[in-house]
Amino acid sequence: MAGFTVHELKGFQRKYLRGLAHDLEPVVYIGQNGITEAVEKSINEALDAHELIKLKFIEFKKKEQKDQISQGIEERTGCAMVGIIGHVAIFYRRHSDVKKRRIRVPVRED
C-alpha cells in the first residue's frame, strides 16, 4: 500500500500532519451525492499531487455521516484520515514514488 492506514499513524504523527494542514485550503468538496466516482478520482489526484489534503463536507453536517464518509474515503483511496475539524477533514497518503514525497512523517523509536 502506498500510504499509511489510520491504524498505522500514531497520535504524534497525526498531530504533526494536522499542523502541516493548518494553512491549507480544501481541495475537494463532498456534496449531497457523497463519494461519487468523480469525487474519488479528485481525491486520488489531489493526494498524488499533495499527499496531504483538506476535504470539506457541504451537505453532511452530522458527525456520524462525516465519520462514515471519511471511512469510505480511506477504504477506497488507501489514505488515512488525520482528523476532522468542523466540516473539514484532513487526509494523508504517502506518495508511492520516493522521489516525489514532499512530507516526512516523524518516526519515534519506542
Residue boundaries of the structural domains of the chain: 11-94
pLDDT surpassing 80 at residue 6: no
Q: Quote the pLDDT of residue 108.
A: 80
pLDDT beyond 80 at 58 = yes
Just give the CATH number of 11-94: 3.30.110.60
CB 83, CB 55: distance < 8 Å = no
Q: E strands of the chain, at which residues?
A: 26-30, 52-57, 80-85, 88-92
Please give the mean pLDDT across all residues of the chain.
91
Q: In which order are the strands placed within the sheet that holds 26-30?
A: 26-30, 52-57, 88-92, 80-85
Residue (of 81, 70, 88, 99) closest to 3 by Cα position:
81
pTM summary value: 0.90
| Mean pLDDT lowest among 21-35, 47-61, 94-108 | 94-108
C-alpha cell at 74: 480511506
